[in-house]
Structures are given as structure tokens and as C-alpha cells.
Amino acid sequence: MTCNLDTFMILLLFNTFGFSVFGSDVVSCVFMESCILPCSFQSGADPIIHWIQVTAGNLYVHSFYNNQDQLRLQNQHFRNRTSLFKDQISRGNASLQLTGVEVQDQGGYRCYTRTMRGNKDSFINLRFPSFLVGNRIICSSEGIYPEPDLTWSTSPLSNLTLQNQTSIQQTEQQLYNISSSLILSDSETDLIYICTISTRSNSRNTTFFIPSKCFKKGNCKISFHLIIL
């Protein structure tokens, strides 16, 4: 795969650890772009719509009832980033548009709808494709137990300071989601970057190689490899 070093980000998802909502559809979204999470229901009078991010601990994403948006309980992470297609709600369309999609938006979403005809639950999993835009490597995994650790290293070993940010969230199911972003540096080249996610009983490694010509010419062949231990 050819890419420009100044404008790429790699998102590495450890699906072998992964947890997803049973019976859910998967929607692939692009980092920092808009994305539509589909949801439909049998149209009827007095529709009620609730979108909830399940894997982040049942965060309220967007609600609609009494014929208008109801955002009092909306989690601040989603503020000014969500909307429904209001002209299509009467036709049974409860799809959610999410703008500026971020790494934290990954995971399972529940779309709950209710009318005088009954109620319905739909589940959507939001995922990123492997290659995205940015200047960093993202390493993440969901649905892990017990609480995991995430470390970055290089091969061969170097004195390079690995600038990274790691976050851990615990879900309502007492599982853990972990994500870390590593900012790439051109001070040392031809390094293999290694992301390791581990628990007391298991671990996963992903290796990522950036050849020196990426820094010299701005275009290169990028390779990465998942190692299961």
C-alpha cells in the first residue's frame, strides 16, 4: 500500500480479543469524517428514538420524542455531533448521523425505537478501516478481561522517546476497552514499532514497519503484522 507519511494514520484493531454486540451490523467509518449509523422501524404515531453507546457504559448519544430532539441526557462527548433525518422519521427512518468521528466512537450502539405499534431494538458496531488519515499509529482493542496493559516498543531498541496517549474504559459488562495513539517521529528511521496488549493470561503483538524512504520521499510501502501469543 502506498501512502504519504505526512497524512496517514494506521488503526490496528485486535479483534482476537474483541467483544461485539450479538446480532449487530458493522458500519465502517472514516476518521474525522461524517458517518451514518442505520436504524429503521415500523412507522407509527408518537415515535420515540434513543441512541446509546453500549460498549462505553451506556452513554446517551441522541434522543428524540414529543416530535423533537431531547438532548438533556446526551453525553458531552457527542455534543453538537449528532443528528437524525427528521423528515424521514415518519417513514420509519431512525438513522443517526455522527460527525467528526473519533477513535473513542468505536464500539457497539443500540438504537431503541417505540411507537403505538410496539418497540424495537437494533444494534450497530462502529469500526474503522485499517488505513486512515493522520500522523500517528492507533492501537486498540475492546471487550477485554481482566484489565489490560498496553505498551509500545521498537526493534531494534532505540533511545527514541515514544510519545503516546493511552486510555482505558470499563463497560457495563465489566469488560475493558483500551486505545493508544503513538505519534510518529522522523528522528530515527527503519524502526519496527511494536504494540503489545496484555493481561495476566494472554497477550497480542502488532508490529509496524516504516522504511527510511518514507521520510526522504514522502511515499512508501507500509507493512504491519499481527502476532498472537
Question: What are the boundaries of each domain within the chain?
Answer: 2-18+128-228, 32-126
Distance between CA atoms of 176 and 169, rounded to whole angstroms?
A: 6
Of 112, 117, 114, 179, the closest CA to residue 143 belongs to: 179
pLDDT of 11? 45
C-alpha to C-alpha distance for 14 and 204, rounded to whole angstroms: 7
CA 224 vs CA 10, 27, 143, 159: distances in Å = 9, 23, 23, 22
C-alpha cell at 41: 422501524
Indicate the helix (H) or strand (E) that contains 131: strand 131-132
Q: Tell me what pLDDT residue 210 has.
A: 60
Question: Model's pTM, two decimal places?
Answer: 0.56
Instruction: Quote the pLDDT of residue 144.
Output: 84
Q: Domain 2-18+128-228 classified CATH 2.60.40.10? A: yes
Provide the β-strand partners of residue 124: 25, 109
* pLDDT at position 209: 64
Show pLDDT as tens, one digit a residue, over the chain (229 residues). 334 333 333 444 443 343 333 346 778 777 778 999 999 999 999 999 999 999 888 999 999 999 999 999 999 999 999 999 999 999 999 999 999 988 789 889 999 999 999 999 999 988 765 433 356 777 877 778 899 999 998 888 877 888 888 989 888 888 888 888 888 776 666 677 888 888 888 887 777 766 555 555 444 444 444 443 3
Question: Which CATH code fits 32-126?
Answer: 2.60.40.10
Which pLDDT score, from 0 to 100, does residue 158 have? Answer: 79
**Rounded Cα gap, residues 224 and 33, in angstroms:** 24
Residue 12 class from Cβ within 10 Å (0-12 exposed, 13-18 middle, 19+ buried)? buried
- Common-topology check for domains 2-18+128-228 and 32-126: yes
